[in-house]
Amino acid sequence: MEKKLDPKHLDLLSFARDAVSLQGEGFLTDWPRLADEQFSKDISAGAVFWHLQGRTVPQTGAADQIWLDLRASVKLPLQCQRCLTPVLETVEAERSFRFVADEATAAALDDEAEEDILVISRDFDALALVEDELILSLPLVPLHAICPEKVPMSAADPEFEEAAERPNPFGILASLKKGPHS
């Protein structure tokens, strides 16, 4: 009989020891924090695809390390920072996490370890982790490769031009300082 795994309630220890793989897809509406990041509901976002892989890494003279590899992607409408219209961006996350027994160990290892360190749980919400990683992977400056509308690349301000033509007030003061007798 095959055991049904719930990604919202994973027993990470057995998931990693058994080297289980789990994948799925969901509607953006199932990921409310990620859905809040979309710029336009006029462009339909794609499905959220995710894949989780548990594994252990043997350690000499110590217990095996528990790892979780995560891959996820979604097409999300964001705001182009050049033309300010919607742009459909592919957001992808790929990370590996090492799990330790408690918060103190995680805090002690976090500064020196290159990988992300998390505390192990027998009721771990892996889908919340997927959502977190996709949010962290959002582009800082979403842009079209070529904007659909011509973007003005210069600005003209008539008031600025007018101000440039006026006499410099410091120049007037300097001429007053010299006086009429110079």
Q: Which two tokens stand for residue 22?
A: 């789990």
User: What is the percent of the chain with per-residue pLDDT over 90, rounded to a whole number?
Assistant: 59
Q: Which two tokens stand for residue 75?
A: 């097409």
Q: Which two tokens stand for residue 122?
A: 């027998």
Q: pLDDT tens across 21-32, in order?
A: 999 999 998 999
Would strands 116-119 and 86-100 be described as parallel, antiparallel, or unpaired? Answer: parallel
H helices of the chain, in order, are: 12-17, 32-35, 103-110, 126-136, 158-165, 169-178
Query: In the sheet where 86-100 sits, what is the strand order?
Result: 21-26, 48-59, 62-79, 86-100, 116-119
Q: pLDDT tens across 72-108, in order?
A: 999 999 999 999 999 999 999 999 999 998 898 888 8
Q: pLDDT tens across 37-62, in order?
A: 998 777 778 899 999 999 999 999 98
Contacts of 83 (CB under 8 A, 6+ apart): 144, 147, 148, 149, 151
